[in-house]
Structure formats: structure tokens, C-alpha cells
Amino acid sequence: MGGWIQYSLSPTIGAWAAQHFYWQWKYSMDKTFLKEQAYPYIMESATYLKNITTLKNERRYLPLSSSPEYNDNSVSAWFDNWTNFDLSLAHFLFQAATEVSTAMGKPQEAENWLKCKAQLPHYATDETGLQVAVNLPMKHSHRHMSPYMAIYPLDLLDINNPQEKELIESSLDHIKKLGTRAWVGYSFAWMACLHARAKQGKEAVTNLRKFAQNFCSSNSFHLNGDQKGGQYSDFTYRPFTLEGNFAFAQGIHELLIQSKNNYVEVFPALPAEWATASFKNLRTMGGFIVSAEKKENKIVLLKITATEDGTFRIFEPKALMHISTKKLIQRDNTIQYVKLKKGQTVNLCSL
């Protein structure tokens, strides 16, 4: 396989691929897919990661670690301690393995993976937020947001958690201070998703617009370089990488609705001036199809359809009620929820 070996053959790329199997299961709740595809792939990936890591003083470590494409293809691209990129993926993979094992009715197996996750060290952090690796903060503008995987796409850190909010915001502030001169197009789309997860809607939309205006060809394909002569980036070349377009589309989704760890948030990251907005038929984890409309910052319609039996859980400061009966839905601290059967639809609105 061609390319720089640190990244082409990274031991945690299987963990990143596993997230897509995990997402497909979580968004569909398809039991057949879980049994035949998601569970086997996640199990094989987790088993490999467990076997390639070693225990030192009850902590689990990779023999070598890296972070795309930090220090490019030089010997200094290797680290003898975890990078936050590899570590975040390891945390995610063992967590996903725990969850799919539980769903398959294998509690002892789930306990094993939970123990593996507990053996991983904490993320490397300092006053700049998440670091590249232990004692190494990001020191310059860089095209990859890999050190910040725990924020997005892995969803291991949550802006609604007061203990994690400061870490997330410090990380994004530091990225902003370093500037965008070494970014490429997909960097702006990824950054938009990070801002959306931090509920920084204005910044998210700004990065989406920069991507669309400066890093796309006339046929809308993403081009890595700045096509307006280097307005935002020193790269002005034309490599085509399709994932930039995918990240841009997801950035829009993240403005409108987010599936987080066991709950959903609607309109979490719209700019303040977007007081009126709507979307139709977006899917969330748990197998729910959601449409929503807000006017003057109030949810006037939240339509939820269940494709499988389940409990729709939502983080929403304002109380939600059934439109037909005016009855409030149930609440558990900051989370409101409603139980639905497969095929059932409910229509809610803010009180």
C-alpha cells in the first residue's frame, strides 16, 4: 500500500472505520446488521487493538503512535506515547465494543471491553486544550484536526458537560489563534463540525461559507487548495478529495440536529440571526426520523417517528408538550423523553 506508513497502516484506522459500522447500527437499530456486520467488525478491531497494546503499570499503551499528518513522513512523526488521535480512537473502540456486546446479550464480554477502556490513560491536555501528544501542544496551523477527534466525530467529549466544556472551548480557541494558513479545504468543513459541537453556530457557518466559496470547483467538487489565490490558505493547488464535500454536508446537519451520547439535540448550533428555521426527515441515533420547525427561537413543531421501539431522549431547556393534548413529556433532570413503538409518530412543541 502506498503513502506514508504512519497513516496508511495506522493501527487505529480500523477503529475509525468501526465507527461507521457503529453509526449504521445506531441510526438504524437494525438487529440483523448488528449481528452480521457491526458486531463482527467491531469485535475484530477491538481484539486487534487489545492485542497490539501492552500494559504498563495498569495502563494500556501502543508500541508507537502517530497523528495525521503531523511532522509528515519524518522520524519525528512517531511517538513513544499516545497521541490524542490514537488514544481517542482507542477509547471509542473499546466503548463501542462494550455497547455492541451488551446489545448481543454478552455481559461478560462487555465487561472485558469496559475494563480495556478503563486501562487507557486520560487525554493529553494543557492550557491550550487537547494536545497533539503528551507534552506537545499544537504549535502551528495544521490541515488535520486529528488531535480533536474526541470532540468530533467520536463524540467522547460533550459541551453540555460542565467538566468538559472548558476543555472543548480552550481547544477551539487555540486552533483559532494558530490561523488557517496551513489548512486545506476539508479543514474548514471539519472545523465547522467542531464549532457546531461546541454550539458556536456563527463560527461554524463562517467556515462552511469559506469552504464553499474558496475550496470548490465549478462543479461543486472539493479542491484542497484555495481557489481564490490564497485568501485563507497558503495552498492553492487543485487535488480533489471527496471527503471535504461529505464533511461540509455533515456540518449543515450538525447545525440542525445532533445525536450525542444517548440523547438528541435539535437546533443546537444555529447562528443567533437564524431565529426561524426548519428541516424535514433527518435520522437520529435510536432509529428515529425527525422533522422540526422553530419560529422566533421557539420550537413550534417537533415531529418524531420511530422506525423501531425506543425512547427518544432530547436535551432541550424549554419544556416540550404534545401538540394534541398539551400534556408535557417526561423529564429526567436536563433530558426530556418520550417512549414510542415502531411506526408511531408524535408531534411536540415548546411550552
| Domain match, 140 and 200 both | yes
Output the average pLDDT for the chain: 97
Q: What is the dihedral of CA 23, 26, 27, 33, to 10 degrees?
A: 90
Tell me, yes or no, whether 173 and 150 share the same domain. Answer: yes
DSSP of 169-217: HHHHHHHHHH-STT--HHHHHHHHHHHHHTT-HHHHHHHHHHHHHHSB-
Clarify whether residues 165 and 113 are in a common domain: no
pLDDT tens, 26-74?
999 999 999 999 999 999 999 999 999 999 999 999 999 999 999 988 9
Q: What pLDDT score was predicted for residue 261?
A: 86
Is 247 in the same domain as 312?
no
End-of-domain residue from the set 78, 97, 121: 121
Q: Do β-strands 257-260 and 263-266 pair in parallel, antiparallel, or remain unpaired?
A: antiparallel
Q: How far apart are CA 93 and CA 10, in angstroms?
A: 14
Q: Are residues 284 and 211 in the same domain?
A: no
Domain count across the chain: 3
- Domain range for 227: 136-263
Judgement on whether residues 86 and 182 belong to the same structural domain of the protein: no
Residue 75 within any structural domain of the chain: yes
Q: Which residues 6+ apart lie within 8 Å of 327 measured at CB?
A: 321
Q: Check residue 300 and give its pLDDT.
A: 98
CATH code: domain of residue 279: 2.60.40.1180
Is residue 2 very low, low, confident or very high in pLDDT (cuts 50, 70, 90)?
low
Do residue 149 and residue 115 come from a single domain?
A: no
Average pLDDT rounded to a whole number, residues 324-347:
97
Chosen domain end from 236, 263, 290: 263
Angle between helices 84-103 and 107-118 (to 10 degrees): 160
As a whole number of angstroms, the distance between CA 86 and CA 12 comes to: 6
Of the candidates 179, 184, 167, the one whose C-alpha atom is nearest the C-alpha of residue 131 is 167
Q: Is 204 inside any structural domain?
A: yes
Of the chain, the end-to-end C-alpha distance in Å amounts to: 57
Residue 330 lies in a domain: yes
* Segment 73-114, tens digit of pLDDT: 899 999 999 999 999 999 999 999 999 999 999 999 999 999
Query: Looking at this protein, which amino acid is placed at residue 75?
Result: V
b vs e for 284-301, b when ≥16 Cβ sit within 10 Å of the residue's Cβ? bbbbbebbbbbeeeebee
Are residues 254 and 280 part of one domain? no
Question: Is position 131 within any domain?
Answer: no
The answer on pLDDT for 293 being more than 60 is yes
Percentage of the residues of the chain whose pLDDT score is greater than 90? 96
Confidence band of 347 (pLDDT split at 50, 70, 90): very high
Q: What is the pTM of this model?
A: 0.96
- Do 47 and 86 share a domain, yes or no? yes
> Is residue 130 situated within a structural domain?
no
Domain identity same for 202 and 115: no
pLDDT digits (tens, 9 = 90+) for 183-212: 999 999 999 999 999 999 999 999 999 999
- Predicted confidence at residue 258, as pLDDT, reads 99
Measured between alpha carbons, how far is 313 from 294 in angstroms, rounded to an integer?
19
What's at 186, amino acid-wise? Y
Q: Are residues 140 and 161 in the same domain?
A: yes
Could you give the 3-state DSSP secondary structure of residue 95?
helix
Asked if the structure places residue 128 within a domain, the reply is no
Domain boundary among 62, 94, 121: 121
- Whether residue 49 lies inside any domain: the answer is yes
Considering the domain architecture, whether residues 186 and 245 belong to the same structural domain is answered as yes
pLDDT in tens, 257-282: 999 989 999 999 999 999 999 999 99
Q: Does residue 270 belong to any structural domain of this protein?
A: no
